[in-house]
Amino acid sequence: MKVCLLGSGVTSLTLAKTLVNKGIKVDIYPNDNLRPANKNRTLGISKSNVEFFNKNILNIENLLWNINQIEIYSENFHNEKIIDFNEEGQELFSIVKNHELSKLLLSELSKNKLFKINKNKISEDKINDNSKLIINCDFNNFISKKFFYKNVTKNYNSKAFTSIIKHKKINNNIAIQVFTSKGPMAFLPISETETSVVYSVRESEKIDFNNLIKKYNKKYEILNIEEPSCFELKSFLLRSYYHKNILAFGDLLHKLHPLAGQGFNMTLRDIKELLLLIESRINNGLDLDISICKDFEKNTKHKNYLFLSGIDFIYEFFNFENRIKNNILSKSVKFLGKNRIINRFFTKVADNGLVI
């Protein structure tokens, strides 16, 4: 059996390692050449997804920095803490550097005879001749532009700035989210001396990124702030997950606001579902073909839509509060956040996604 993967990002490499672990041949077509991942980008991985990754894909414990507490603040509520997620010393999720994870996956894949990087130019006829199942993780190839352009899109009219701050050594296992008047800012620890910062800002706002980090920083003695990367913020969900035997995957399939750090977690949950379908076909002696695409869409589309809508609601909730300059909503959230049952419910959803 062979599967063809289009794209060479962390999603494609993660999926390739999952498949070769099952004895499936994988041809990967990178977009032009394998390019180094952005060193300012980090990925949040929930506790259950870390367990899945280590068991079914690759042990990445040495790359992870564990977070055991999440504090949420609102500038509109006098910068007071409104929610505190803390599971009695247990990690809630982990942070990994995007480029380090990509490098490790590629290194491990290069040792496997089932994995091949095909540097020939992609053509629809050629990949169809070589594989009955094609998984497209690449935004920029002609297949995406030709077949995967119809989606439900929301433009936040915002940009996300990502950077890494270097600071004096501290016990650094608490993630902080601040809903500022200009947009949400997240401080995501990645070591005792480094913290990733993600700041989503409305395009109409003029900002001094470094000064804003210093303004909302609550605990770090900053030594250096790396030059930030920037990208436009949109959320979307494809209307159709597949075309013939080509399945869209990863950020091509769905993309959401980064405030909750759930993008890669959605992809890992999709990989879990895809793996179940593939294992079922293998166990029954069936080919990996278009039927997998149909079943995958049927099993995941509604859950992905509801989860994406939930993240969008959180963004709009605090955005509305800042526009009306009233903290009654934050007061309500603070009250609800003190309820142990509600607190655990949201922690569970963030970890496992929606179970329907």
User: What's the maximum distance between 2 C-alpha atoms anywhere in the chain?
Assistant: 62
pLDDT-above-70 percentage for the chain: 80
Domains of the chain in sequence order: 2-352 (3.50.50.60)
In sequence order, what are the beta bridge partners of 72? 83, 177
Task: State the pairing for strand pair 194-202/151-167.
Answer: antiparallel
pLDDT at 341: 44
pLDDT at 318: 64
Six token digits for residue 109? 């894949």
Q: What single-letter DSSP state applies at residue 38?
A: P
Give the pLDDT band of residue 51 (cuts 50, 70, 90): very high
Q: How far apart are CA 127 and CA 110, in angstroms?
A: 21
pLDDT at 191: 95
The residue ranking higher by pLDDT, 321 or 156, is 156
Nearest residue to 266 via CA among 304, 298, 302, 231: 304
Kindly report, residue by residue over 175-208, the tens digit of the pLDDT. 998 888 888 889 999 999 999 999 988 776 778 8
The separation between CA 350 and the C-alpha centre of its own chain, rounded to angstroms, equals 12
pLDDT at 77: 57
Instruction: Report the pLDDT averaged over residues 122-129.
Output: 62
Q: How far apart are CA 30 and CA 6, in angstroms?
A: 6
Contact 298, 240 (CB under 8 A): no
Q: How far apart are CA 214 and CA 229, in angstroms?
A: 18
Instruction: Look over the chain and give the mean of its residue pLDDT values, rounded to a whole number.
Output: 83
Residues 6+ apart with CB under 8 A from 340: none
HEC string for 243-260:
ECCEEECHHHCEECCHHH
pLDDT at residue 120 is higher than 70? yes
pLDDT at 342: 45
pLDDT at residue 61 is higher than 70? yes
Residues 6+ apart with CB under 8 A from 229: 38, 40, 41, 161, 162, 163
Q: How far apart are CA 16 and CA 12, in angstroms?
A: 6
pLDDT at residue 347 is higher than 60? no
Residue whose pair of structure tokens reads 């910062």 in the numeric block: 197
Instruction: Report the pLDDT averaged over residues 235-263.
Output: 88
Task: Note the pTM of the prediction, 2 decimals.
Answer: 0.85
Q: What does the buried/exposed string (b/e) look like for 262-301 if buried means 16 or more CB atoms within 10 Å of the residue's CB? A: bbbbbbbbbbbebbebbeebeeeeeebebebbebbbeebb
pLDDT at 349: 46
Give the pLDDT band of residue 319 (cuts 50, 70, 90): low
Kindly report, residue by residue over 271-306, the tens digit of the pLDDT. 999 999 999 999 998 888 899 999 999 999 998 888
